[in-house]
Structure 1
Amino acid sequence: MHEEQLFIVLLVIAAVVLLARAVAGRLGVPDAIPLVVLGLAAGFVPGMPEIEVSSELVLMGFLPPLIYNAAFFTAPREARADAVPIVTLAFGLTAVTTFAVAGTVHLIMPGLGWPAAIAFGAAVAPTDAVAATGVLQRVGAPRRLVTILEGESLINDGVALTIFGLAVEALTTEYTFAHGGGRLAQVVLGGVAYGLLVGVVMRRARRLVDDPSSQIILSLATPYLAYVPAEHLGVSGVLATVVAGFHIGTRGEGLLQPASRVAGQSFWRVWIFLLESALFVLLGLAIRGVLKDPGDHTWTGLLLTGLVVSAVVVLIRLAWELGNGPLADLLPGGRRVQEGLGWRARIVVGLGGMRGAISLAIALSLPTAVGDERGPLIFLTALVVLVTLVGQASFLPVLLHFSGLSGADKRAEESMRARKAGLKAAMARLDAMSDAEEVDDRTADAYRQLLELRLDRVRYFLNEERGEASEDDEPPGGAHVRAELAKAQRAKLDALYRKGKIGADTLREIGRELDFADVVTGRGTPRGYQRE
């Protein structure tokens, strides 16, 4: 790509980002919906250059940070509680969807070999929970459904990409059943082991760094250090990235200072959004060439094929979700865990399986060894993403309303009760410090008044509206006191989460507020518990 073409593409990506944010805010929909529509439309803007997206660029540039970010923010306690439905969806449904889609396109497109068909099936098999969970949270759906979709989305990325990698290998390598089984074991076990090694090393390395900018650089390097060497070693870079992100995200207590967490959160939100926006724009540029020259296919034929594949993806998921109960009951604790999942909830989960950025990234990474069918397969992936993302996201609020699963969101009440417990823990710590004469009476009284004021606000707004912690002028000489009080609040929040009293969202929300308050004051603080 020439410099002029790159400049034009970057301008279009920036325009798509701004427009998508504006449209999403105006319509009250998840960002992914206007992104996919505007991204596809961007490919047909007059003057847009003809470019061919390199599969290596997508694999090495886009996939690692997208996967790492999802793994980092996994809620371990919630995911563990719903491990049975998550595992059956992530492993069983992903495999069934992959091979059902492969069989469908192989039947419709006889010239497409089985390895390419399976690679395409793996591209449209994994779900993207961002849009679905955005809709579910906005209408007050049970938190459990959101957890299942998020947990499934993380694991099925690794499953689908592992199958995809083996299918791509089969394009140029003759596979036997024994060879395929051995290679699968090597890819999975090697990827998990290497990812754990990277997670341990990077977690220890980041403990030695205090500067927020350096922390961001290390966090950005981690997914690439996990993915790229793993692929060169012949193991799964995807699984290595997932394991590294999960390990650092769930075992990094005390890893970062508040300033580093605040900066890291802002950076990763922007970075992931830009990557997803760029993927949608690159997809639009890629399918424009297919529409101009569909090769041995017709536009009508490709459109019908895309609709058939979309129907297969949606119907298989619904059938699986409604009929996999007996299979899930065979897993340890399966019958007990599934007791709260009625048929209404299963339909919501079934229709929450939208496709998004990961599917686009996998499709765009199809190698040239696929031949002339690479462009049509990318086009079919775009149709599946468009149908599932726009269609299902629009239907979910209506489904939730008529199913009786939507209602008042209890997260606000949970958040306020967690604040109340944290403030009481801070007051107890302040009293202990005062009794031990670790703080003078003037400073202790000033902080006690501040805590009482905030506690009164929480009590007043509880069950009515969310209260916001406010930062008043800090009493003189109170940096150490403030640090100890924040530490006490974080410890209490951590204890509430471990006991199941609050969810991961509440833990992160209040933790971010404590971090932000610390950064605003510009004073020192001890290392708190880590949620980047």
Structure 2
Amino acid sequence: MGYEGLFFAGLLVVVVILAGRAIANRTGLPDAIPLVLLGLLVSYLPGMERFEVSPEIVLLLFLPPLLYHAASFTSPRETRAESRAIIGLAVGVTTLTALGVAAVIVLVLPEQASWPVAIALGAAVAPTDAVAAGAVLRRVGAPRRIVTILEGESLINDAAALTIFSLALAALTQPLTLGGGLWELLRIVAGGVLWGLVVAAVAGRVRGRIRDPDDQLLISLLVPFIAYIPAENLHLSGVLATVTAGFVLGTRVEGLLPAGVRLNGQTIWQGLVFLLESVLFVLLGLQLHEVLVEVAGRDPVSLVLAAVAAIVTAVAIRLAWEVGVIGAVQRLKLRRSLAPLPLRERVVVGWAGLRGAISLAIALSLPQTVNGRPFEDRPVLIFMAAAVVLATLVGQGMTLPWLLRRLGVGERDDRAWDVARGQRALDEAALARIDELAARGEIGEETAETHRQPIRLRLSRMSAALDSDDPGAAEDAAQHRASAVRLQRELLAAQRGQLEELYRDGRITHDTYRHLQRQLDLDEPRHPDGRR
């Protein structure tokens, strides 16, 4: 495909993303479903039927920023508090899922799938995607502890799955003994973590000395690739290097960044991650055409049976771990340092094992040749990985809200109350500072009172809701905040209209127009999930 063809394909991908998002918003489906289906339809257009993406490009372009972003925004204290549950899921369940799915595939397709091939598939579908599950859980007000466990798990299970995946691919080209495999695992893991720490230390020092916002953002975008590429070239875990660098930089040196850099950086990263995840789903749809053609000659009953078996195994292992294993551990009181997780919340954690972008990236990164010969099992593996991803996104993703309501989990939005308590403390600190400055004569009493009034009003309403045991008080406070947001947006709309008129009449310059427009954009009230 030439440059013109690549440009045309890029435009089609953008159009598919926009159309898929519109369909998802109207129907309530997960974004992945319309994106994959539209990508499959586009693959039937002339010239697109054999659209291919190099596996190396998938790993290099998509994995580093996705992993780095997830690691950078991890909650360190909450993650540390739930470390046992997270490690159990991320390492224990991921390993069991990879091996369990592999065993089922070898059993169902004994003549087509060797153990290394089956383990590669198991590793691809083993890691869960906390983004999709987290969005549903936050929307229905699930306990923050559940979201923390899922987010922490997805951060580590990517590294565990890709390490298993790498060992499985290595076994395709040369036999691995148990001792050799363990040594290779230790070398890959330890080397990746050490390189990630080195990158984090160097990048932290550089970021601490630079104040230019554009340079800061450029460094932020480069770090995941600086961590990933050298590690992979040294045959270490690029995933662990990227995750380690992101976690350290996100939790240790965030305070070194100016507020403007953080604000712009979060916006850019959110847009970049959304684009990369959307493109991955479209790429899967585009490649499904050729995958379906190549698997058409195989026994369809065996393929469907294998796909269903992989889906059931992946879901069942996770549920069995949460309901059975963790339940037994809690009954034996082996987790004394933690408050036990109730059964209904463990069921939610078990059912929230949605697969997403990382599983797609791993599946699409399967090599096209092994030992110089075409990798004939690649289409089958991609087909079954796609089946697991779509089945969990649709089946589990769309039933999570019903399950939460059925179990009575998430009746109160803990995050909203945490935000309210934090905002009350900030307002109290602001009032104390105003009083201090006024007492020292650094500001006039009129200026001080002008700033006190809105803070006092917000503080009084918030304190009344937080201090009251009446659920109606919290509801009234929420309605008041919603009314305040609507009013603020109306006022901003009026100001924007006036700004347009001033520029249209030639009463202000374009530079002034842009400056005032940016101030209005910064004043735009935020959505509860962080979007403006």
Q: TM-score range by the shorter chain?
A: 0.7 to 0.9
Instruction: Report the more deviating stretch, 462-471 or 360-369.
Output: 462-471
In structure 2, the residue matched to 1:494 is none
Judge conservation of contact 1:5–1:49 (CA < 8 Å) in 2.
Answer: no
In structure 1, the residue matched to 2:452 is 448
**C-alpha distance 34-262 of structure 1, shift in aligned 2 (>3 A):** farther
Instruction: Report the more deviating stretch, 51-60 or 5-14.
Output: 5-14
Alignment of 1:376 with 2:380, yes or no, is yes
How far off its partner does 1:439 sit?
4.0
Instruction: Report the more deviating stretch, 263-272 or 414-423.
Output: 414-423
**C-alpha distance 166-517 of structure 1, shift in aligned 2 (>3 A):** farther
Judge conservation of contact 2:319–2:350 (CA < 8 Å) in 1.
Answer: yes
TM-score (norm 2): 0.83
How far off its partner does 1:237 sit?
0.4
In structure 2, the residue matched to 1:489 is none
CA distance in 2, matches of 1:387, 1:459: 45
In structure 1, the residue matched to 2:189 is 188
Judge conservation of contact 1:195–1:240 (CA < 8 Å) in 2.
Answer: yes
How far off its partner does 1:46 sit?
5.8
Judge conservation of contact 1:30–1:134 (CA < 8 Å) in 2.
Answer: no
In structure 2, the residue matched to 1:60 is 60
**Per-residue CA distance 1:394-439 (angstroms, 9 max, x = gap):** 1111111111113132332332222121011011122223334444
Structure 1, gaps ≥5 residues long? 474-515, 522-532
Judge conservation of contact 1:29–1:135 (CA < 8 Å) in 2.
Answer: no
CA distance in 2, matches of 1:3, 1:235: 34
2:255 is paired with a residue whose SS is: coil
CA distance in 1, matches of 2:280, 2:521: 34
**Per-residue CA distance 1:226-284 (angstroms, 9 max, x = gap):** 00001112211000000000001111242211211111111111111111111111111
CA distance in 1, matches of 2:521, 2:360: 38
Instruction: Report the more deviating stretch, 300-309 or 452-461.
Output: 452-461
CA distance in 2, matches of 1:213, 1:187: 34
CA distance in 1, matches of 2:88, 2:65: 26
Judge conservation of contact 1:258–1:519 (CA < 8 Å) in 2.
Answer: no
How far off its partner does 1:22 sit?
2.1
How far off its partner does 1:327 sit?
7.0
2:430 is paired with a residue whose SS is: helix
Judge conservation of contact 2:69–2:246 (CA < 8 Å) in 1.
Answer: yes
In structure 2, the residue matched to 1:147 is 148
Task: Report the residue type matching 1:140 in the other structure.
Answer: G
In structure 2, the residue matched to 1:486 is none
Task: Give the fraction of aligned pairs with identical amino acids, expressed as a percent.
Answer: 49
In structure 2, the residue matched to 1:90 is 90
In structure 2, the residue matched to 1:416 is 420
**C-alpha distance 128-108 of structure 1, shift in aligned 2 (>3 A):** same
CA distance in 2, matches of 1:320, 1:269: 33
2:64 is paired with a residue whose SS is: helix
**Per-residue CA distance 1:195-228 (angstroms, 9 max, x = gap):** 0111121122112222322222111101000000
In structure 1, the residue matched to 2:203 is 202
Q: 2:433 aligns with which of 423, 429, 453?
A: 429
**C-alpha distance 41-425 of structure 1, shift in aligned 2 (>3 A):** farther
In structure 1, the residue matched to 2:513 is none
CA distance in 2, matches of 1:338, 1:36: 41
**Per-residue CA distance 1:329-377 (angstroms, 9 max, x = gap):** 59996245252x2222222111100111000000011112451111111
CA distance in 1, matches of 2:140, 2:219: 37
Judge conservation of contact 2:311–2:388 (CA < 8 Å) in 1.
Answer: yes
**Per-residue CA distance 1:86-118 (angstroms, 9 max, x = gap):** 111111111011011111222223232222221
Judge conservation of contact 1:44–1:284 (CA < 8 Å) in 2.
Answer: no
In structure 1, the residue matched to 2:158 is 157
Judge conservation of contact 1:85–1:328 (CA < 8 Å) in 2.
Answer: no
In structure 1, the residue matched to 2:504 is none
**Per-residue CA distance 1:5-48 (angstroms, 9 max, x = gap):** 21232122212221233233334455445444444444345653
> Which protein has the larger Cα radius of gyration, Structure 1 or Structure 2?
2
Judge conservation of contact 2:144–2:414 (CA < 8 Å) in 1.
Answer: no
Judge conservation of contact 2:32–2:390 (CA < 8 Å) in 1.
Answer: no
**C-alpha distance 228-41 of structure 1, shift in aligned 2 (>3 A):** same
1:293 is paired with a residue whose SS is: helix
Alignment of 1:354 with 2:354, yes or no, is yes
1:337 is paired with a residue whose SS is: coil
Judge conservation of contact 2:43–2:285 (CA < 8 Å) in 1.
Answer: yes
In structure 1, the residue matched to 2:104 is 104
Question: Number of residue pairs matched?
Answer: 478
In structure 2, the residue matched to 1:5 is 5
CA distance in 1, matches of 2:54, 2:15: 23
CA distance in 2, matches of 1:203, 1:450: 39
2:256 is paired with a residue whose SS is: coil
**C-alpha distance 165-391 of structure 1, shift in aligned 2 (>3 A):** same
**C-alpha distance 41-394 of structure 1, shift in aligned 2 (>3 A):** farther
TM-score (norm 1): 0.83
Instruction: Report the more deviating stretch, 276-285 or 39-48.
Output: 39-48
Judge conservation of contact 2:327–2:343 (CA < 8 Å) in 1.
Answer: no
CA distance in 1, matches of 2:444, 2:368: 72
In structure 2, the residue matched to 1:512 is none
